[in-house]
Amino acid sequence: MSASQPVPAAARLFLSGNEAVARAVWEAGTRVAAAYPGTPSTEILEVLAKYPDLYTEWSVNEKVALEVALGASMVGARAFCAMKHVGLNVASDALMTMTVTGTEGGLVIAVADDVGMSSSQNEQDSRYWGRFAHLPVLEPADSQEAYAMTRAAFELSERFRTPVILRLTTRICHVKGVVAAGAREAVEPGGFKKDPRRWVMVPGNAKPRLPLMFEREAAVRAEAENSPLNFVVEGTDRRIGFVTSGPAFMHVREAFPDAPVFKLGLSCPPPLESLGKFAATVDTVLVVEETEPLLETELKAAGIACHGKDVLPRTGELTPDALHLGVARLRGEVVVEPEHVVPQQVFPRPPTMCVACPHLGVYYTLSQMRNVMIAGDIGCYTLGAGHPWNALDSCISMGASMGTALGMDKGRGKVDENKKVVAVIGDSTFMHMGMQGLLDITWNRGNVTVLLLDNRAVGMTGGQDNPGSGRDLHGEETTRVDFAKLCEALGVKKERIRVLDPYQLPVLFKALREETKIEEPSVIITDRPCVLIDHYAPTKPYLVKEDRCTGCGNCVDVGCPAIHVTRRDKEVKASGKEVDLSFVRIDTSACTGCGLCVQPCAPEAIIHAEPVQTLQPVQFVRK
């Protein structure tokens, strides 16, 4: 859907949680929306960008996205930003001051927690930010509530002049449901009102606003006590009453349909008075929350007896099975733990990079190097830690490769004094949070070689554009970062910056050997587009001539998933022992002709395939 295409009319739509949030943001009359891609929140802005009559952008990081949204709110416009849970860590510097200034136009922050860590390095609980920043937190349980609570969040934000956090989880973001949608509101910005005492946060201005922040929090607490977003589902079995929020509510209702449930929609600040009254109507209160015992601790502090993480797991989703086990423990029943089933031994299929990924050559080269410490980062190239490369020694957070590498260099002792230090980082991650780290390396004269992998996309989250691609969120041409000039501006000597093709293994290997020998900062920029974006141009595929292949496996070490090892036949050795002969095959339907596997092939057994035009799908034959 583009700005020129019709928008679905008010109707019952089948939407994921992310799509439902996007629809509600648009309907709310929002004028500005910004985000940084990160699973499971990415699709919110991607969908929102297809709606007309509002400005959307991919920002260089989450802090900038939140600041863009705040600026729009300052001029009285409704504003929105989205990020995954670890992104709010990056944005928290701005967040913790915004809670003092408050907002003008409605400002909603969607934060998607990755409960179960399907695509993240940790499982933090973003509900804590509501308590830390004294902000309201809304928690939808399905797509319809994601839509409704987003609309409600803007109204709440403007009524109390505060940012509002919409806490999502992977289960909400990616599961679809029927949503009763409406029409777009016409909301005209009220205009900027000059007020330095509010917007200029020097200590003298900030101190008088702190009491206002606490007054606002008290008002929101009173709102929570009467909010229709918090309600009780009556039940006939009053032995256990559940207190829950978000998708855990759906699991509770599935597992214990006859039990009373206090469902929190506006979960921060918690309606402690109403929760106390609910607790008095049941024998035992069980708090079901993903992932931390946050509400459980608050209830106990308020003198409300309850159970929670003493019987329920602290990690992962609280599925009906987990709830049944927890309730059995609570009731003192004999708990039969699920039988540990040893999985059938099959050929391993670990996550891997795409066919012809430009990072393959980088990690193949690094895997051939000895006596090197490799600090990694967040992105597709994190997979370099796996088989067959095993060429990554750390991965902490966005941009951490730079500081980690510098620390390795400065902290090493005699046992590591001869080791080389390499930092690996992608283009989007470098712009997100890596530039400051490179500046720190040059400023403090670190002996680090940086591999900056420019594939012109935010690859891991779906190939989104970034300032290095030369296109904006809408695919329109814009400025493109010159990484060589940028690195030079950050203090790297011009002669220590190399731009090369990662498909040319000898050139890459030579550059790495030379730069790691020089005891000063250096940067090697690999310049090849991601194979999944339209910048990439495949060429003729390759195949293996079986009669030449010796089965040495050099091409397999490149790690391309289009290469398969198979058996040819058996051979009887002089000793009389029969052995299998292996050789490789290339899936020509997947091969894009990058040539990475050709270069380490000693017997020259890999040659171009020739496509034959037939009425059937394209077949490939030997040359």
- Indicate the annotated binding residues for [4Fe-4S] cluster: 549, 552, 555, 560, 591, 594, 597, 601
Residues 6+ apart with CB under 8 A from 107: 69, 70, 72, 73, 78, 79, 80, 98, 157, 163, 164
Q: Pairing relation of β-strands 606-608 and 542-544?
A: antiparallel
Contact 105, 73 (CB under 8 A): yes
Omega before residue 40 within 30° of 0, cis: yes
Residue by residue, what is the 3-state secondary structure of 330-351? HCCCCCCCCCCCCCCCCCCCCC
Q: Kindly report the length of the chain.
A: 623
Using DSSP's 3-state secondary structure scheme, residue 617 falls into: coil
In 397-521, at which residue ranges do the beta strands (DSSP E only) sit? 420-426, 449-454, 497-500
Q: What are the binding residues?
A: 549, 552, 555, 560, 591, 594, 597, 601
Contact 284, 330 (CB under 8 A): yes
What would the DSSP string read from start to end of 435-446? Answer: HHHHHHHHHTT-
| Terminal alpha carbon distance of the chain | 45
What would the DSSP string read from start to end of 175-217? Answer: -EEEEE---------------HHHHS--HHHHGGGHHHHHHHH
> For residue 63, which phi and psi values (nearest 5 degrees)?
-65, -45
Contact 326, 344 (CB under 8 A): no
